[in-house]
Amino acid sequence: MDPSALNSPDLQRFLNQEKEKAMVNEMVAKLTSVCWDKCITSTPGNKFSSSESACLSNCAQRFMDMTMIIMKRVQSMQET
């Protein structure tokens, strides 16, 4: 590969966008997997019950809350 081609601003922008998209995709995939296991305990039906869909939504948000708490905790531990 011609190294000077890597400097293309189009390519840099593209790679950054795809990197971001990949991270979002991974987060959603992982969260869906975890929350499916937590919330969908019975055989899948023709639609989710309201408690199942509420559980899925809550699960995702609580997971993100927890991530913030963990990050802050680890950060404060590193500072002492």
Contacting positions for other proteins (CB under 8 A): 1-2, 4-5, 8, 10-11, 14, 18, 21-22, 24-25, 27-29, 31-33, 35-36, 40, 43-48, 53, 56-61, 64
Token match 């937590």: residue? 38
Question: Six-digit token pair at 49?
Answer: 């019950």
Specify the DSSP element, H or E, that contains 64. helix 50-79
CA–CA distance, 48 with 33 (Å, rounded to integer): 16
Minimal distance, residue 78 CB to other proteins, in Å: 25
Least distance in angstroms from the C-beta of 79 to other proteins: 26
